[in-house]
Amino acid sequence: MITVASWNVLHRVHAENWYEDVATRWPDEGARIAAVTARVAERTERIIALQEVSGDQLASLRMAMPNRTFHAMRYQRLPTPRRVPSSLLDGGEYLVVLTAAPSRELAAESFALDQGKGALVVDAGGLVVISTHVTGDRRRVAQLSRLAELATAAPEYGAVLLGDFNTDRATVAAGLGNGFAVAECVAGALPTRPRASGAKSQFIDHVVVHGATVTAASVDDVGGVSDHNLIRAAVTI
- Report the 3 state secondary structure along the chain: CEEEEEEECCCHHHHHHCCCHHHHHCCCHHHHHHHHHHHHHCCCCCEEEEEEEEHHHHHHHHHHCCCCEEEEEECCCCCCCCCCCCCCCCCCEEEEEEECCCCEEEEEEEECCEEEEEEEEEECCCEEEEEEECCCCCCHHHHHHHHHHHHCCCCCCEEEEEEECCCCHHHHHHHHCCCEEECCECCCCCCCCCCCCCCCCCCCEEEEEECCEECCEEEECCCCCCCCCEEEEEEEC
The parent domain of residue 9 ranges over 2-236
The pLDDT of residue 198: 76
The pLDDT of residue 42: 98
Instruction: Assign residue 92 the CATH number of its domain.
Output: 3.60.10.10
Provide the number of structural domains found in the chain: 1
- The pTM of the full predicted model, rounded to 2 decimals, is 0.97
The pLDDT of residue 21: 93
From the first residue on, what is the mean pLDDT of each consecutive set of 10 residues in the chain (237 residues)? 98 91 95 98 98 98 98 94 90 98 97 96 96 97 98 94 98 98 97 87 97 97 97 97
The pLDDT of residue 20: 87
The pLDDT of residue 105: 98
